[in-house]
Amino acid sequence: MSIGMKERWSDKNRYLSTGALTYSGNSKPIPELRVGIPDYVRIPILGSWFSIKGHLGYGRLTDDSWRRENGGGTYAQGVLFHSKSLFVRFGDEERFPLLVTLGLEMNNLFGGVRYWGENERQMPSDAAAYWTALFPFHHIEQQGTDDGDNLGSWHLNLDYSVSDWHIGAYYEHFYEDHSSMLGIEYKNNTAGEKDFIFYGFRRNWFDGLFGIEVNAPKNIRAVRGVVFEFMNTRGQSGSICHSVAHNSEGMAVIEEVDGRDGMYNHSVYESYTHHGYAIGNPVLISPVYYGGDIFRSNRLQMFHLGVEGGITQCIDYRLLATTTQHWGCYGAPLKEVERKKVAWFLSALMLVALVMCIGSCERAFPDDRLDYYWRLDRIDYKHGVNFRGDSCSCEEVDNTMFGFARHIVLIEDLTGGFSRHGVTTEVGDSIRLDFSMYDDGGLIGGLRYCGLDSLVTTFRVSYPDCGRMVLENSRVMLRFRRW
């Protein structure tokens, strides 16, 4: 048992790794009452092949003043914190050199008081709230903001030791809700019947931290340890979140999908931070570095290399090199991505290897190539006149995004504040975008700014390369980049 503020680290290499995704030790410690088993202990009834460790804790954030000063009028005070974990290790090093570890980690921000403008709301902080934080499981459509910001990660570790060498490989999959936690949901289909959605590998399970660690025997000085990590958070269960129960558009479409998981951001508690620093992995740039209280980019890819060793008996060294690419957030994408050739080359190699192994999971949605977040770059008007009647052969477009999932399309003009869900129908290499279910006379004006001349528009779809898409009909050609 421990009480108070105590510096804790994840099970990753403290000196060479970027850190775990749920709790890394990056932020200021959170005062907490914690009970648990800090080191693996064997389970006698199962023999020497099984051992466990885990913990359970409750605490409180101490950054009320920081949240108030940086929240821009919307912030939470007196936020409570809950954490728990359970890790099961299979193996006996005395009999066989391979150990396999499976683990589940869950944290929660809950309770406190939320302020916005002149308004305030007391979030549940009673005994029932503590119980809900411990068991945050509900029936379909019953999970709400009163339950707090529930998040966590799955862990899979492989450790092999031979002749004083240690080789380890690990995978940590981060989740923000049930869709990313399980990769499967029970949702309405186009007929209004409940059906299973499999989010697949790219939309869900490819999100996470992949790592390899090698540790040399003690008699080797030059290079004692090496860690290589790759992290991807671009999927987040896809670019669309549409639920009939929480539909504010009056849209008569009953198909559902839960994407846009919003890693480390939350509608009530703003961000998963303590004093402005990420409680999870610090590669997601913390709000404290650029002002505000949310993460401006939680969709990224990262490559990291850490090396340590000794030059002499008295001089050690440690080298850390990290390269990242940021795409922003769903609904608030960055306008440009800084592309680095080395990172893209390594990313392509790793992606090809992983898809070769698990690529069959990707056929869960009607068109796997279409199911991305797309930035509209340019509209070409074939007749030299745009949809507002002005002479124009082409328009460069800024900050307009299209998202696709299942049979749903989302069009967002982030500059003009326009956003609408529609229905897609695919026939061969063509797709129909249908917004006729709305009773909104002003809708057509917003669609025209996004390249659609009517409530129902059919396009031929083509893909010039793996990162670009073109939608074309007799009047217009829309050119996209995958985001």
Q: Tell me if 104 is assigned to some domain.
A: yes
| DSSP label of 385 | B
Q: Which of 8-17, 35-44, 152-161, 177-186 has the lowest mean pLDDT?
A: 177-186
What's the domain count of the chain?
2
Q: How many Å apart are CA 339 and CA 207, to the nearest integer?
A: 20
> Of 362, 391, 414, which residue sits at a domain end?
362
Residue pair 173/153 in contact by the 8 Å Cβ criterion: yes
Q: Tell me if 452 is assigned to some domain.
A: yes
Q: Tell me if 198 is assigned to some domain.
A: yes
CA distances to 215, 306, 317, 319 from 313, rounded to whole Å, are 18, 20, 11, 18
Q: 216: Cβ–Cβ under 8 A, 6 or more apart, which residues? A: 165, 223, 224, 225
E-strand ranges in 9-73 read 32-42, 50-60
Do 389 and 295 reside in the same domain of the chain?
Answer: no
Alpha-helical (H) ranges within 319-457 are 341-358, 443-449
Q: How many Å apart are CA 334 and CA 371, to the nearest integer?
A: 19
Token couple for 68: 């108030």
Query: Is beta strand 225-232 parallel, antiparallel or unpaired with respect to 241-242?
Result: unpaired
> Of 362, 386, 403, which residue sits at a domain end?
362
Do 326 and 465 reside in the same domain of the chain?
Answer: no
> Of 362, 383, 400, which residue sits at a domain end?
362
Do 82 and 109 reside in the same domain of the chain?
Answer: yes
> What CATH number corresponds to the domain at position 25?
2.40.160
Do 190 and 269 reside in the same domain of the chain?
Answer: yes
Query: What is this structure's pTM?
Result: 0.84
Q: Tell me if 279 is assigned to some domain.
A: yes
pLDDT-based confidence at 22, cuts 50/70/90? very high
pLDDT of 291 over the 50 cut: yes
Residue pair 229/17 in contact by the 8 Å Cβ criterion: yes
Do 194 and 238 reside in the same domain of the chain?
Answer: yes
Q: How many Å apart are CA 22 and CA 145, to the nearest integer?
A: 19
Token couple for 207: 């999100």
Do 338 and 461 reside in the same domain of the chain?
Answer: no
What percent of the chain has a predicted confidence (pLDDT) above 90?
Answer: 54
Give me the sign of the Cα torsion angle 62, 147, 269, 264. Answer: positive
pLDDT of 58 over the 50 cut: yes
Q: Tell me if 367 is assigned to some domain.
A: no
Do 16 and 113 reside in the same domain of the chain?
Answer: yes
pLDDT of 364 over the 80 cut: no
Q: Which domain holds residue 321?
A: 2-362
Q: Tell me if 40 is assigned to some domain.
A: yes
Q: What is the mean pLDDT of the chain?
A: 86
Residue pair 96/66 in contact by the 8 Å Cβ criterion: no
Half-sphere CA count of 482, side-chain side, radius 13 A: 16
Do 339 and 408 reside in the same domain of the chain?
Answer: no
Residue pair 420/434 in contact by the 8 Å Cβ criterion: no
Q: Tell me if 243 is assigned to some domain.
A: yes
pLDDT of 356 over the 90 cut: no
Query: Which of helix, strand or coil describes residue 334?
Result: coil
Do 217 and 326 reside in the same domain of the chain?
Answer: yes
Do 335 and 409 reside in the same domain of the chain?
Answer: no
pLDDT of 348 over the 60 cut: no
Provide mean pLDDT across the span 21-42. 94
pLDDT of 1 over the 70 cut: yes
Task: Look at residue 141 in the predicted model and tell me its pLDDT.
Answer: 52
pLDDT-based confidence at 249, cuts 50/70/90? low
Token couple for 204: 């869900």
Do 192 and 326 reside in the same domain of the chain?
Answer: yes
CA distances to 13, 152, 313 from 216, rounded to whole Å, are 14, 32, 16
Q: Tell me if 368 is assigned to some domain.
A: no
Burial zone of 357 (CB within 10 Å; 0-12 exposed, 13-18 middle, 19+ buried): exposed
pLDDT of 368 over the 80 cut: no
Name the one residue in this structure whose structure tokens are 């992983």.
354
pLDDT of 287 over the 90 cut: yes
> What CATH number corresponds to the domain at position 465?
2.40.128.280
pLDDT of 352 over the 60 cut: no
Name the one residue in this structure whose structure tokens are 């009909």.
473
Do 145 and 292 reside in the same domain of the chain?
Answer: yes
Half-sphere CA count of 371, side-chain side, radius 13 A: 26
Residue pair 152/104 in contact by the 8 Å Cβ criterion: yes
Q: How many Å apart are CA 266 and CA 150, to the nearest integer?
A: 10
* pLDDT 10s digits, 207-248: 999 999 999 998 898 999 999 999 999 989 888 887 765 555
Q: 105: Cβ–Cβ under 8 A, 6 or more apart, which residues? A: 20, 22, 23, 83, 84, 85, 152, 153, 155
Residue pair 237/372 in contact by the 8 Å Cβ criterion: no
pLDDT-based confidence at 198, cuts 50/70/90? confident
